[in-house]
Structure 1
């Protein structure tokens, strides 16, 4: 052993060796191409800091930012039959389910939870587009029914975040049956007098748009979200015409009266709580640990002036008396 072996070779190896860097530290924005550091992106609720593009966000990350203190309780959802049609394309349906579960860490494409948003008790449901494109299957139908039943049981409004590519083809007509089934669940909320608020995220398409995603008492969308039944490319190929710029995007639908609001993700918490309190007749939004504001005493209107006593009508002159007879 000499100085070449002990010093020179390790020094050369350290210069030319590459450190392994995790691949998930940086994310490229789909809109502007900016490379975003994962911590900065997470702190900004997965919204591009350069172009304000709203990227995909997992339901658990959304709920952590939505509920007070990030505290919420999951609502149990009944599990459907795993493979009712024994469907197989390039892979078997159960294999695709297991692959999606491994990639996302979730059991299915929708998460249901209950908690408080700025001291406002709510039940919330969110679709995960990363799970088989958020496709609507029997589990999603069960989740919406479970969310509606829990909202009715606790007397809370229901908030739903939609993100889907449509119905799940591996379940065939059973997935299409979730459209009327979820519509009935929304009608149950209306009969109970509870608000149903929908936040449409990118993308919300297909049978989801044709059912529960467009039945809210108030319709909110995230900026730039694609909201449609058939996509722009399908429509262009069908009618063979170029569609207007921004067609079927949230801002376009807002201008044409199909939405009530287009709200950035950072402002949704405040706006959802405010709208729900207005619909349920509650007081103003409570921030932080401040006590609920005391209701101000209304000033009584000034008393009306007393009516003047009515004057008696002028006495009529008595008729002249007849002269006394002798």
Structure 2
């Protein structure tokens, strides 16, 4: 059976020793029936608590955090008027004092003894949480066993990060109610923390003893502003690969992908899972990460996962979750492009792939935070384009960007794939061409190729991210967003009037300009 620590036990396990300070304020007397009053008195005697929520603040790794923790032994953790008032007062105080909130619900839902009035309390709880998040303050949720009903459907489902207790029953509909209404049991295994993780509803499943580590790491990343100064960019190679050479190199099986980049370039990582709305795709990655001492949200496409999971609309919805998270927390967004292309399938079309590409573009262009796109390797088609409209673009020396794989472009133009190499020259897909055309701002060298020196290469990419972030952070929001728009409006316009004549033909070893 899943362990069920009390509210006070969970607080003691999670916060620094002896730092919890209660915010519980006296509760007003409610006009209630004697039978219900007796139930409340019995619950208070049993638990030592005056309501089903314990609220206050403490230190987590030395930093202040507000906590709101449910107590299941108090009438099943149900939420009535007084419990809801305590929740709202706590969240509002945390907002006013600029504190993150760690909420750990455990509840059968609305307190039936208080009826509709209690049911509607979920609305005001939601309003308080939304206002807290609008202030760019973290709201983390730990769903405990069990969390159901209106609690799950309000403050239990609004976390920037949501994790669930191992083996926990989590769901909207209580299984006892389902059995009573329909005369049969709800399908087994659906309302479990592990199943919700599989479907991208929660970000992780962990025991209560690990909550301290996860919450501490997440809050540290979100708060990290860093003053790390990276080394300057390295001089370019003397021999710049041809476009076709770069494409072949980018497709090597040993080339590091996004997860390798995070492992070597970030000092701390909290991976997130899925869209939060019932979808999860391994080809897309969303993570909080500290890079060069700066807290960031990293969103990207991992080519290594695309053998088992195609880049479909669900992957882009997952990416959009990361974009929204960056905006809500006020963190820089790093997007990573490394994909052979989006899924070509009936499922992708019916799932709205084209619309998801468009929505990614729209959100990237309008994000109120600094944004950096990294072309790590392959950059093919709309799946790559969806993550491109950033303030700054970094490319690996053998990274490239094209509307189609060169073989596909050759088929369209010539009816076969034999012209693939020449198409890469005409379309100016390689990193050097992208730099010359004003699409890329910095190239990260490979010595000689990333698959030969994956760790060092990934660290250099991290240094480039920090260099570009440092420049962006010197601009105010208005300047940065205006420059982003101007940059993309100006693409393809040659102010010299020289047109294509300004470009020297590719020789396969063109010197750096």
Q: Normalising by the residue count of structure 2, what TM-score does the alignment of the two structures yield?
A: 0.44
Q: Which residues in structure 2 correspond to 1:1-12 (within 5 Å)?
A: none
Alignment correspondent of 1:37: none
Q: Which stretch shifts more, 274-283 or 295-304?
A: 295-304
Aligned residues of 2:24 and 2:54 also touching (Cα < 8 A): no
Distance in 2 separating the partners of 1:76 and 1:194: 22
- Higher relative CO (CA 8 A, sep ≥ 6), structure 1 or 2? 1
Runs of 4+ in 1 over 3 A off after TM superposition: 232-245, 280-283
Change (3 A) 1:61 1:196: same
1:246 corresponds, among 189, 201, 206, to: 189
Alignment correspondent of 1:216: 159
Alignment correspondent of 1:190: 133
Change (3 A) 1:135 1:244: closer
Q: What runs of 5+ residues in structure 1 fail to find an aligned partner?
A: 1-30, 32-53, 284-294, 305-326
Distance in 2 separating the partners of 1:298 and 1:68: 33
Q: Give 1:243 deviation, angstroms.
A: 5.0
Aligned residues of 1:254 and 1:261 also touching (Cα < 8 A): yes
> Any idea what SS the aligned residue of 1:93 has?
helix
Alignment correspondent of 1:136: 79
1:299 corresponds, among 231, 235, 248, to: 231
Q: Does 1:77 align with 2:59?
A: no
Q: Which residues in structure 2 correspond to 1:133-282 (within 5 Å)?
A: 133-235=76-178, 244-281=187-224
Q: Give 1:222 deviation, angstroms.
A: 0.4
Distance in 2 separating the partners of 1:141 and 1:234: 23
Q: Give 1:235 deviation, angstroms.
A: 3.6
Aligned residues of 1:110 and 1:127 also touching (Cα < 8 A): yes
Q: Does 1:87 align with 2:30?
A: no
Change (3 A) 1:268 1:177: same
Alignment correspondent of 1:97: 40
Provide, for residues 271-293 of structure 1, a one-character-per-residue CA deviation record: whole Å limited to 9, x for no partner: 0011122233356xxxxxxxxxx
Q: Does 1:108 align with 2:51?
A: yes
Aligned residues of 1:76 and 1:146 also touching (Cα < 8 A): no
Alignment correspondent of 1:48: none
Q: Give 1:269 deviation, angstroms.
A: 0.4
Distance in 2 separating the partners of 1:132 and 1:240: 25
Distance in 2 separating the partners of 1:114 and 1:259: 25
1:120 corresponds, among 63, 66, 69, to: 63
Change (3 A) 1:299 1:249: same
Distance in 2 separating the partners of 1:265 and 1:153: 28
Q: Give 1:149 deviation, angstroms.
A: 1.5
Distance in 1 separating the partners of 2:155 and 2:212: 21
Distance in 1 separating the partners of 2:26 and 2:126: 18
Q: What runs of 5+ residues in structure 2 fail to find an aligned partner?
A: 237-513
Alignment correspondent of 1:68: 16
Distance in 1 separating the partners of 2:225 and 2:190: 38
Alignment correspondent of 1:17: none
Aligned residues of 2:175 and 2:185 also touching (Cα < 8 A): no
Q: Normalising by the residue count of structure 1, what TM-score does the alignment of the two structures yield?
A: 0.67
> Any idea what SS the aligned residue of 1:68 has?
coil
Distance in 2 separating the partners of 1:96 and 1:194: 37
Alignment correspondent of 2:3: 55
Q: Which residues in structure 2 correspond to 1:283-322 (within 5 Å)?
A: 296-302=228-234
> Any idea what SS the aligned residue of 1:60 has?
helix
Q: Give 1:116 deviation, angstroms.
A: 1.2
Larger Rg: 1
Q: Give 1:83 deviation, angstroms.
A: 3.1
> Any idea what SS the aligned residue of 2:218 has?
helix
Aligned residues of 2:165 and 2:208 also touching (Cα < 8 A): yes
Distance in 2 separating the partners of 1:128 and 1:267: 19
